[in-house]
Homo-oligomer: A and B are copies of this chain.
């Protein structure tokens, strides 16, 4: 099977609902980050997708074409940056389930990365989209880590929806930006 992406592609449509106008979580977060950057609120960027480049062609008089490459497992989280002088670092995940968020969605090195960040005085968290409920939660790393550690001791391999409601922080959807997650960060960390 071959998939073609248009070069100037927009965020892929994954879920369609009135609130997010068909934009996926990554698209919404990127939109928020652009807003934060343009309004001098924070400097937060998505890291490029890590790719292992194997073969590159240099056609005459045109730019290099990568003709063989593979997706690599990311060694850190997708987003980091600076907000109010603090280092912040997070990962975004979409969840299509109704009752729980499987921990298998998170890579073990993302857990150890976020743990390191917290130890060095940074702010680390997850943003999880519950697509079924059209809800977005900020979950501090400490909460995730509790479930993670427990799962390693034969505990449950997922985080129940109730934990998001109780220990997570719902991002209220707005207008500009639609997903103002830093407002929630303010309430938790500042």
Whole-angstrom distance between the alpha carbons of A55 and B69 in the complex? 10
Query: Is B65 in contact with A68, judged by CB distance below 8 angstroms?
Result: yes
The answer to the question of A189 belonging to the interface, with a C-beta cut-off of 8 Å to chain B, is no
Whole-angstrom distance between the alpha carbons of A71 and B5 in the complex? 15
Give the contacting residue for A53; candidates B42, B51, B63; CB below 8 A: B51
Per-residue B-contact encoding for A120-163, CB less than 8 Å = 1, 0 else: 11100000000000000000000000000000000000000000
Per-residue B-contact encoding for A52-70, CB less than 8 Å = 1, 0 else: 1111111000011111111
Per-residue B-contact encoding for A38-49, CB less than 8 Å = 1, 0 else: 001011010111
A residues with CB within 8 A of B: 1-5, 7, 37, 40, 42-43, 45, 47-58, 63-72, 74-76, 80-87, 89, 113, 116-117, 119-122
Q: Knowing A5-B54, A52-B7, A55-B4 touch, does A76 contact B122 (C-beta < 8 A)?
A: no
Which partner residue on chain B sits nearest A53 by CB separation? B5
Give the contacting residue for A66; candidates B69, B80, B83; CB below 8 A: B69
A1 to chain B minimum Cβ distance, whole angstroms, is: 4
A67: B residues at CB distance < 8 A: 2, 67-68
